[in-house]
Structure 1
């Protein structure tokens, strides 16, 4: 006698559906990669009918872009401790937490499993990083105002320098990243900024 698998419990309407579908999309990206991800698979994991997904997102590209962008916006705590040393360390640690969590795993899966060249995914990737840098710029501006960094320090340059060691390990060497990675990135970035090599016009 063939057994019929139980249907997932309904997840409700509105925001609950979006949350469930976004979470399912990230999980499917991590497990299957962008190329193998399907709307049917996302719907089944989320516990909704696929027509519910298609009413909100026209295709898997728009679904992935929305899930990545929405989750990334929630993964950007901006520290304000009064000390540039502590702020940069906490900022780097938050990046490590993001990139080792569901959003980071899904982003890497989208980038390296068939989604990197998809225009919508490429644009979402740029938007995620641009948004993260924009949100973090006040950390640098406040440090300059407090006299903790040179007056000509360029916020985007400093933030890119802070993130570079983390992404080098993730994307090039494959080494693990942890709080030690974050703390070292903050230390060398602060030294470079105080030495004046992250000033405006030196990109």
Structure 2
């Protein structure tokens, strides 16, 4: 993010950024990553092409900025009363995000861009890390209720729950439906209950003592 965008979040710069982001998402939904162009985003947003090039550089910059904005947005975190229900709700939410007629093409375009461009990959990594942390409270609540070992890694449980969906969507091409989403959630739950998703132990000093933190 440029200093100008950082220091004037509520002014014209913020409005320009929001307009460009909205145009980027609309173009991705209609044309996908391969069809995204700076010129089309500029025309749709009403922002001059030279401004878009100067601030975002290229289509990868547009995608990275859209992901950066999205990572700070709230995500619906379920609270069904137990971890089994919460994880199923999470995996179904991910499934909807990729299969919804309006949002699905945008989400797929983000992943496609990340495969092909390092800056988009870094932005997607940060976006997913933020989403995993936003979802982590469902695991922390389960630990507090005594459903899981005390040293369970909350974000790792979330990663393990959603990973099978990404594998089917973007690697194997196998069908994905709610049954698949529920099975992925149940598998993560079983692994967590068995203690397979514990947090990594703190590194030890050369003398064998855990460093003070």
Q: What's the secondary structure of 1:74's corresponding residue? A: coil
Q: Superposed, which structure 2 residues align to 1:39-188 within 5 Å?
A: 39-51=38-50, 53-54=52-53, 57-74=56-73, 76-101=75-100, 105-112=105-112, 116-188=115-187
Q: How many residues align?
A: 189
In structure 2, distance between residues paired with 1:86 and 1:73: 25
Q: 1:155 to 1:104 in 2, by over 3 A?
A: farther
Shift of 1:126: 0.8
Shift of 1:75: 6.1
Shift of 1:123: 0.9
Shift of 1:144: 0.5
Q: What's the secondary structure of 1:98's corresponding residue? A: helix
Give TM-score, length-normalised by structure 2: 0.73
| 2:29 and 2:103 in contact (8 A); partners too | no
Structure 1 stretches lacking a partner, 5+ long: 1-12
Give TM-score, length-normalised by structure 1: 0.76
Structure 2 stretches lacking a partner, 5+ long: 1-11, 202-213
Q: CA RMSD in A?
A: 2.8
Instruction: Point out the more displaced range, 86-95 or 175-184.
Output: 175-184
| 1:28 and 1:42 in contact (8 A); partners too | yes
